Amino acid sequence: MICVSINQESRRLALADMVNAKHFCDIMEVRLDRFGKSPEIGDLMAAKGKKPVIMTCRRPDDGGFWDGTEADRLTILRQCIISKAEYVEIELDAADDIRPFPPSKRVISYTNLKETPPDILEIYDEMKTKRPDVIKLVTLARTPEEAWPLVQILAKAVVPTVVVGLGKPGVMLSVLSQKIGAPWVYAALERGMEAYPGQPTVSDLDAIYRLQDIEKTTKLIGVTGFSDRDQITVAALNALFHAMEMPYRCLPIGVGNMKIFRKIMEACKLNGAVIADEHQASILDMDLELHGLAKETQSADVVIRKNEAWHGVHLACKAWMTALTSLLATRYEGGEPIKGRLIMIAGLNPMALVIARDVQRAGGSAILACRDKKAGQVAAQKIGCRYLALDALYSTMHDVLIVCENAVDQRTGKTELYPSYLKPGMFVMDLTAGVRLTTFLREAQSRTGAIVQPLELALDVLELQAKTLIGKDIPRDLLRAAIPERFLEEV
């Protein structure tokens, strides 16, 4: 079930939100601590209609706004129970002050806004002694290491348990909660109404994460990271799995300590994972069996579980090089359009190193341009290409610019690459663009007339990754249609 929090400062606005929320959720949480005046419990109960509600009145230490006395707060919660609210949330330290009184059910909660404490398992055991109908844990979960104890609790819960991880990694716990059969997961009614940064909206849970499709038998495919690009991957793959009636859905997951990451992958019984750019080299610490380009690049963007072992492949590089070859072939005839071309690669991340190797292998001349002189020179020597300081990019002849890392100038706050130097006849590919035609690419297109469209490039990568994960040809139009509109807006 999806629970939407009603988080307004006035009864009138709260009632309006309840009317809207009823169409998009299964249960509503009403935040009584937000009201400027004493709440009219009867009016709120009447407005909920047939939807069940959770009444809560939180103290500041629990992320709430209550500024009255503790005695008055407990009185309000007791009034909610007498008014037969379906659920009333009571903090662990106050559980003995409000006894069970059916038909209302008590949600015994613990909140920690600073961390997931090391003794969270002991806290959970204590909560089980308070005769809870539901246990609710809310902790800061910024990394897989912090989320791991919560995953363990979800997996072994003997009392109905709701887990909320504050921060973007918390969406992983929402998906796992749905699969395990937790009573509900939380979502914001719409963008701008999030209870905490990174909280998914009702629309996100539906269109991106396909939460209502997830059952105990659903098989999970990991997608590392929580950026726009990672959310696009989740949305596209989930739409594909849904349309092809395959029992797979995506699990967004962070990467920190590789041992913990592997534990989470195995605990969640992942069949495979799509790996974000920044983790494609470190993922090798999982002792992968590498195939194809992954052996040469020593990095993997897709890992698959097969025959009790993890296998790694690198597919994005193939898509990037295919796109570059196709772009250059529009002007240079023959079967090797990269051969002899000067390819400027801006940045020094795994993407840049992978492309530089392939450009050299294809007969082109790669030039690595970055701020870190020592690291750039070492990388260039290993690859067998040139290194330049980033500022020298503008005065050095090249046929193609490939942006792999568009850093921000700490002094001005602006991106460090300026498209004003681009001239007709040059080619541009920006691997930092996601699916959007960015300001940089729009100006590059107007100056050179020859860019790789970021949406098409993203679809090329997704198509290869999806085909590898499921072993079938992929309808490209289906992937395109699955990308939420907000990710396509120009910036």
Question: Per residue in 220-259, pLDDT tens?
Answer: 999 998 888 888 899 999 999 998 888 999 999 888 778 8
Question: Per residue in 47-103, pLDDT tens?
Answer: 888 899 999 999 999 988 898 999 999 999 999 999 999 999 999 999 999 999 999
User: To the nearest whole percent, how much of the chain has pLDDT over 90?
Assistant: 46
Selecting from 3.30.450.150, 3.40.50.2000, 3.30.930.10, 3.40.50.720, what CATH number does the domain 318-452 have? 3.40.50.720
Query: What value does the mean pLDDT take over residues 337-351?
Result: 91
| Confidence at residue 266, expressed as pLDDT on a 0 to 100 scale | 83
Query: What is the per-residue burial (b if ≥16 Cβ within 10 Å, else e) of 309-328?
Result: ebbbbbbbbbbbbebbeebb
- Phi then psi dihedrals of residue 25, to 5 deg: -135, 170
Is the pLDDT assigned to residue 488 strictly greater than 80?
A: no
| Confidence at residue 138, expressed as pLDDT on a 0 to 100 scale | 93
Strands of the sheet containing 53-56, edge to edge, are 161-166, 134-140, 105-112, 87-91, 53-56, 27-31, 2-6, 185-187
Q: 160 is written with which tokens? A: 């109905």
Strands of the sheet containing 289-290, edge to edge, are 248-253, 219-224, 272-274, 302-306, 309-313, 289-290
Banded pLDDT at 38 (limits 50, 70, 90):
confident
| Confidence at residue 288, expressed as pLDDT on a 0 to 100 scale | 87
Whether the CB-CB separation of 236 and 487 falls below 8 Å is answered with: no
Distance CA 208, CA 239 (A): 8
Check the CA dihedral 375-142-202-463 and report its sign: positive
Distance CA 404, CA 390 (A): 12
Distance CA 302, CA 316 (A): 9
425: left (phi over 0), alpha (psi -120 to 50) or beta: left
| Confidence at residue 128, expressed as pLDDT on a 0 to 100 scale | 95
| Confidence at residue 490, expressed as pLDDT on a 0 to 100 scale | 57
Banded pLDDT at 218 (limits 50, 70, 90):
very high
Query: What value does the mean pLDDT take over residues 415-426?
Result: 84
Is the pLDDT assigned to residue 407 strictly greater than 70?
A: no
Query: What value does the mean pLDDT take over residues 453-480?
Result: 88
Query: What value does the mean pLDDT take over residues 144-172?
Result: 86
Distance CA 278, CA 224 (A): 10
Distance CA 378, CA 470 (A): 39
Banded pLDDT at 160 (limits 50, 70, 90):
very high
| Confidence at residue 227, expressed as pLDDT on a 0 to 100 scale | 83
Alpha helices in 244-276 (DSSP H): 258-267
Is the pLDDT assigned to residue 162 strictly greater than 90?
A: yes
Question: Per residue in 260-280, pLDDT tens?
Answer: 888 888 888 888 999 988 888
**Of 51, 62, 120, 114, nearest to 90 (Cα)?**
62
Distance CA 305, CA 262 (A): 12
| Confidence at residue 367, expressed as pLDDT on a 0 to 100 scale | 96
CB neighbourhood size of 9 (10 A) = 13
Q: What is the mean pLDDT of the chain?
A: 88
Banded pLDDT at 489 (limits 50, 70, 90):
low
Higher pLDDT, 219 or 7: 219
Query: What is the per-residue burial (b if ≥16 Cβ within 10 Å, else e) of 167-206?
Result: bbbbbbbbbbbbbbebbbbbbbbeeebbbbeebbbbbbbb
DSSP character string of 388-424: EEGGGGGGS--SEEEES---B-TTT-SBS--GGG--T
Higher pLDDT, 129 or 22: 129
Banded pLDDT at 37 (limits 50, 70, 90):
confident
Top-confidence range, 317-321, 373-377, 436-440:
373-377
Q: For 239-313+459-487, give the CATH class.
A: alpha beta
CATH topology of domain 2-216: TIM Barrel (3.20.20)
Q: 17 is written with which tokens? A: 């939100």
User: To the nearest whole percent, how much of the chain has pLDDT over 70?
Assistant: 97
Banded pLDDT at 410 (limits 50, 70, 90):
very low
pTM value > 0.75:
yes
Question: Per residue in 188-213, pLDDT tens?
Answer: 888 888 877 778 899 999 989 999 99
Distance CA 437, CA 443 (A): 10
Question: Per residue in 67-78, pLDDT tens?
Answer: 899 999 999 999
Is the pLDDT assigned to residue 406 strictly greater than 80?
A: no
Higher pLDDT, 22 or 134: 134
The CA-based angle 26-265-183, given to 5 degrees, is 20
Is the pLDDT assigned to residue 386 strictly greater than 70?
A: yes
Whether the CB-CB separation of 478 and 239 falls below 8 Å is answered with: yes
Q: 264 is written with which tokens? A: 């989470």
Strand partners, 223: 252, 274
**Domain residue extents for the chain:** 2-216, 239-313+459-487, 318-452
| Confidence at residue 412, expressed as pLDDT on a 0 to 100 scale | 45
| Confidence at residue 154, expressed as pLDDT on a 0 to 100 scale | 86
Query: What value does the mean pLDDT take over residues 118-134?
Result: 94
Domains 239-313+459-487 and 318-452 share a fold: yes
| Confidence at residue 147, expressed as pLDDT on a 0 to 100 scale | 82
Pick from 13-27, 133-147, 187-201: least confident? 187-201
**Of 271, 365, 351, nearest to 316 (Cα)?**
351
Whether the CB-CB separation of 389 and 369 falls below 8 Å is answered with: yes
